[in-house]
Structure 1
Amino acid sequence: MKIVLLEDLGVSKQIIDQHSEKLKSMGHTFIAYQKSNDINILIERCQDSDILMLANMPLDKQVIESAPKLKYIDVAFTGVDHLPMDVIKNKNIAVSNASGYATQAVSELCISFMIQLLRHVREVEQRCRQAGTKDGLIGNLLNNKTVGIIGAGAIGKKTAQLCKAFGCHVIAYSRSQVNDPYIDKQVSLQTLLQQSDIVSLHCPLTPETTGMIGENELKLMKKQAILINTARGGVIDSLALAEALKNKTIAGAACDVFENEPPLTKEHPLLNCPNIIVTPHIAFASKESMIQRADIVFDNLYAWLKGQHINKV
């Protein structure tokens, strides 16, 4: 079979070369490309492939439709909302993902965002660099805060566990019943927004969750509350969040994800807001999680080649 890797997996060339040699010894063709956003290049690379491997690069439906031999897509990512899943399902193409590889990395960054915002790290760092002091700018502890987790999957639960280690009260909103020792109570979305000092988003992007945090939801939050988004950018209405920050409807925010993958345009509404931390989708990207991710997707691949479909989407 012809196996095409469409983008870098964030691991050493040595690791990729080892898998390449193994696949060739099994009688398969393996080609690894650097990422391209040019649809014509992607069509050319994929048109005679049996298997595609990729991480979180968007893949247009034209690419899938131009690959008549395609049988399997191995996604080195948790979510698959960057793929045309309707077309993929219609063509009976199997899909696996790498669920779980970034649970620790994402949850650790969430805690970092919480502390940075509560302690005004961004502002006091700027003052220090300008020979200033902390005068008039005193932060708050994470301890004893109520943290609201929206989406109690693996990452949401791990974030809850870390928050409990800091002495937080943790509540959660989830579409399914939550039974977790680190979540104190499952509540409605409205109750969570009203009661939380910190709201942390961990839900997938679906038609139901798109824009779920908008103007009305932000107005329900406490004025001293902060909002953390390491889930999907489309879950938040960016214009509404920008207005909420400028009008001090809420105290702060941290966004690692946006409606479109970075780089963002200079005109993006969140880039010029007060008291927001913005990062270019780094939550999943630790050296350790990249190695684990590569292990998972190549295990997926070898299993598929043996007739087993694991980590099925």
Structure 2
Amino acid sequence: MKIVMIEPINISMLKIEEYRQTLEAGGHQLIAYSARAESNEEMVKRAEDADILIIANQPLPAEVINSAKNLKMISVAFTGFDHIAMDACRENDILVSNSSGYANQAVAELVFGLTIDLMRKINDSNTAVRAGKTRAGLIGNELAGKNFGIIGFGSIGQKTARIADAFGCNILVDNHKKHQAGEELGVEYLPIPELMQKSDIVSLHVPLKDSTVDLIDAEEIALMKNSSILINTARGPVVNSKALAEALNEEEIAGAGIDVFEIEPPIPKDHPLLNAKNTILTPHTAFATEEAFIKRAEIVFANIEAWLAGKPQNVVS
């Protein structure tokens, strides 16, 4: 089988060589590109003879999939797969596996980095010290005892809940689906409108699909307390950025920590959140730790080995 890593997945060349040797011992070939393709035409050329593709979060359009006549399997070095033309995969009988779970810890940790930064005004305090100011106006709030709302109670949502529990928060979860972790933590399941009303912190952990676009719009944001904050490390389009920016600028909520946008950074200078009040923005870094990248590569190649053995895993198509 010809296996093509069509874009880098943030592991060392030494690690890639280890995977290459393992695959070659089984009679397979691994080609790994060290930079992203700059056009669809270049992607078509890279993928044209591949039996298996490895891709991270670069969009993979139908044009590329349809042109790869030997393609049988795609191993996605990412949890989400909305950037892949799944209809083309189904039409061409191409199996797709993702790397769900590799960044659970990384994403959950950033949720609390953003939350604590906002609640304890860390970024503002750093600026104040450097400007020769005092703590005046920088008195923050503790997490303990706060209502921590989680929308999307999958693996990352559950990891976030466990950390929130360690901080002494009361955990509220949208009642879409119940899990064992909810029973262990004693979470309170609520409809989203009630969760938005009661929460001091709302953290989003839903996938991007038609039903979650603008899940958090002006109507939902209006339900939040003036003292509450919103954290989005899920997908950008889940939140209506314009509505959120307006609420922040009108001080209808206390702050927002945003790691994801409608497009991948760099973000246009006219994006509404760039100049919104009390906002911490990060350039889609929630998943990006060295530990997560190593775990992701392990899952990517384990998916391939499983498929080659006739026992596919982490299948999303």
| TM-score using structure 2 length | 0.96
Give the stretch that moved more between structures: 18-27 or 194-203.
18-27
Counterpart CA distance in 2 for 1:287 and 1:117 is 25
Match of 1:151 in 2: 152
Match of 2:230 in 1: 227
Match of 2:23 in 1: 23
Residues 176-227 of structure 1 show CA distances to partners (whole Å, capped at 9, x for unaligned) of 2344222521100000000000000001011111111011111010011100
Query: 1:153-232, aligned counterparts within 5 Å?
Result: 153-179=154-180, 180=182, 181-232=184-235
Deviation at 1:243, TM superposition (A): 0.8
Which ranges of 4 or more aligned residues in structure 1 deviate by more than 4 Å?
Answer: none
1:64 aligns with 2:98: no
Match of 2:55 in 1: 54
Counterpart CA distance in 2 for 1:37 and 1:306 is 34
1:300 aligns with 2:316: no
Deviation at 1:18, TM superposition (A): 1.1
Counterpart CA distance in 2 for 1:40 and 1:182 is 50
1:256 aligns with 2:274: no
What residue ranges of structure 1 are gaps of 5+ in the alignment?
Answer: none
Match of 1:7 in 2: 7
Counterpart CA distance in 2 for 1:58 and 1:174 is 32
Give the stretch that moved more between structures: 205-214 or 32-41.
32-41
Query: 1:69-108, aligned counterparts within 5 Å?
Result: 69-108=70-109
Residues 88-120 of structure 1 show CA distances to partners (whole Å, capped at 9, x for unaligned) of 112211011111111111111111111110011
Deviation at 1:174, TM superposition (A): 4.2
Instruction: Return the letter of the residue paired with 2:196.
Output: L
Q: 1:245, 1:274 within 8 Å by CA — same for their partners in 2?
A: yes
Alpha-carbon spacing, 1:173–1:93, altered in 2? closer, same or farther (3 Å): same
Alpha-carbon spacing, 1:174–1:75, altered in 2? closer, same or farther (3 Å): farther
Counterpart CA distance in 2 for 1:19 and 1:289 is 17
Residues 159-184 of structure 1 show CA distances to partners (whole Å, capped at 9, x for unaligned) of 01000101100000142234422252
Q: 1:160, 1:183 within 8 Å by CA — same for their partners in 2?
A: no
What secondary structure sits across from 2:230 in the alignment?
A: strand
Aligned residues: 313
Counterpart CA distance in 2 for 1:175 and 1:186 is 9
Query: 1:257-272, aligned counterparts within 5 Å?
Result: 257-272=260-275
Counterpart CA distance in 2 for 1:174 and 1:10 is 36
Residues 205-255 of structure 1 show CA distances to partners (whole Å, capped at 9, x for unaligned) of 111111110111110100111000000011001111111111111110011
Deviation at 1:37, TM superposition (A): 3.8
Q: 1:4, 1:53 within 8 Å by CA — same for their partners in 2?
A: yes
Alpha-carbon spacing, 1:174–1:285, altered in 2? closer, same or farther (3 Å): farther
Question: Alignment partner for residue 273 of structure 1, among 276, 289, 294?
Answer: 276
Match of 2:291 in 1: 288
Give the stretch that moved more between structures: 282-291 or 143-152.
282-291
Q: 1:78, 1:97 within 8 Å by CA — same for their partners in 2?
A: yes
Q: 1:157, 1:182 within 8 Å by CA — same for their partners in 2?
A: no
| TM-score using structure 1 length | 0.97
Instruction: Return the letter of the residue paired with 1:99.
Output: S
Counterpart CA distance in 2 for 1:233 and 1:89 is 26
Counterpart CA distance in 2 for 1:283 and 1:174 is 25
What secondary structure sits across from 2:171 in the alignment?
A: strand
Counterpart CA distance in 1 for 2:52 and 2:166 is 43
Instruction: Return the letter of the residue paired with 1:245.
Output: L
Instruction: Return the letter of the residue paired with 2:159.
Output: K
Deviation at 1:45, TM superposition (A): 0.6
Instruction: Return the letter of the residue paired with 2:240.
Output: D
Match of 1:32 in 2: 32
